[in-house]
Amino acid sequence: MSGYSKKDKRMPILVRLQPTTAAEFEKWRKKLGQDKAGFAALCIQAGLKNVIRGVAPEESIDPATMASMIAAVAKAQGVSLKKALLGQGKR
């Protein structure tokens, strides 16, 4: 894979931020006590997850996690899992 070294499997990325984005980045990086690389990695991962949710929501959550979320919501609403899956829960 391009950008990867044999020893370190992380991919280096160089970006340039607009001044307003850079100021907000620095504010939150310091507020959370992160170094630049760690906070940048967190932002990239969070942003990538949001992009995937927006363009391919079916790929954003694996089936086991989705099933467990549906079951938890059904239980919290006091309806059967079958009714929750069919959209026949309490309203």
Contacts of 80 (CB under 8 A, 6+ apart): 74
The verdict on 49 and 26 lying in the same domain is yes
Please give the model's pTM, rounded to 2 decimal places: 0.62
**37-65 confidence digits (pLDDT tens):** 999 999 999 999 999 999 998 888 888 98
* Whether the Cβ atoms of residue 83 and residue 74 lie closer than 8 Å to each other: yes
Q: Is residue 56 part of a domain?
A: yes
CA 42/CA 75 separation, integer angstroms:
33
The verdict on 49 and 79 lying in the same domain is no
Q: Which domain holds residue 39?
A: 12-60
| Residue 30 pLDDT greater than 70, yes or no | yes
**Helix axes of 36-55 and 19-31: crossing angle, nearest 10 degrees:** 110
